[in-house]
Amino acid sequence: MDLNSTALDDATPKDQASYQFFINGPVGRIEALLNRATESSRFNAIAVICHPHPLYDGSLHNKVTYTLARTLNSLGIPALRFNFRGVGESQGNYANGEGELQDLLAVIAEAKRLYPGRDLWLAGFSFGAYIALRAAHQAKPAQLITIAPAINFFDPHAIRTPTCPWLLIQGKDDDIVPCEEVLDWLEDLHPAPSLRLVEGTGHFFHRQLVTLRNAIEHHFEQNQLDSVAV
């Protein structure tokens, strides 16, 4: 079902697990898909998730992006995915990461409107991870999750080191975003993220999506235990 964001709250059944709608973006409408959590939430949060590169078939339906959404749902967090400009039914054209950053900020504003008072969790894969990193300073998420951030394709100096809790997951056999380049970049970052390296895994986590899901769930379950212990 297609809805504009102004009608979203009243027109959509509250028990509907997921639905498509549109957000007003900087260059036109942004196609979005919200997956509601079916479990009771231990985290008072709303997650916004960014997909990989628009010019290389990246979209909100990418399997890693989908896995991120469903994993966060398992933690009781609704997850909002969207298409950057020029992808799917989102209007506009690719804008070298700068326009896509503005798209993300518009989506974050809408997520906060839909879920007022909740913490923002920001996540992304590849290009989407880079855009999430760019947005973190301004958006101030409570949690940041980046999977194989494409820092080798863009200027890493454009990223201000996040100060929020940050999980970075990287395949050790990534042939698109080499693990060694990511580790070299992290050496100069303070504070550094929590790093999870996945053995035998390339960029798209083929046959490793369950491993990816388990890594995310374990990280936040352990953090929850640690916070209780303190």
At 198-222, the pLDDT tens digits run 999 999 999 999 999 999 999 998 8
Q: What confidence score (pLDDT) does residue 39 get? A: 72
* Domain range list for the chain: 5-229
Q: What is the mean pLDDT of residues 54-74?
A: 97
State the sign of the Cα–Cα–Cα–Cα dihedral 71, 75, 78, 79. negative
What is the rounded CA–CA span in Å between residue 90 and residue 72? 24
Q: Judge whether residue 130 has pLDDT over 70.
A: yes
Per DSSP, 6 falls in state: G
Model pTM score: 0.91
Q: What is the mean pLDDT of residues 127-139?
A: 98
Q: What is the mean pLDDT of residues 138-157?
A: 95
Question: Residue 157 — very low, low, confident or very high, per pLDDT cuts 50/70/90?
Answer: confident
Strand partners, 143: 121
- Provide DSSP, 146-213: EES--TTTS-GGGPPPP-S-EEEEEETT-SSS-HHHHHHHHTT-SSPPEEEEETT--TT-TT-HHHHH
Q: What confidence score (pLDDT) does residue 17 get? A: 83
Q: Judge whether residue 68 has pLDDT over 80.
A: yes
Share of the chain above pLDDT 70, in %: 90
For 212, other C-beta atoms within 10 Å of its C-beta total: 22
User: Which amino acid does the sequence have at 83?
Assistant: N
Q: Judge whether residue 3 has pLDDT over 90.
A: no
Strand partners, 169: 147, 196
Q: Please say whether the beta carbons of 129 and 156 come within 8 A.
A: no
Instruction: Give the tens place of pLDDT for each residue, 161-184.
Output: 999 999 999 999 999 999 999 999
* CATH code given to domain 5-229: 3.40.50.1820
Question: Residue 7 — very low, low, confident or very high, per pLDDT cuts 50/70/90?
Answer: very low
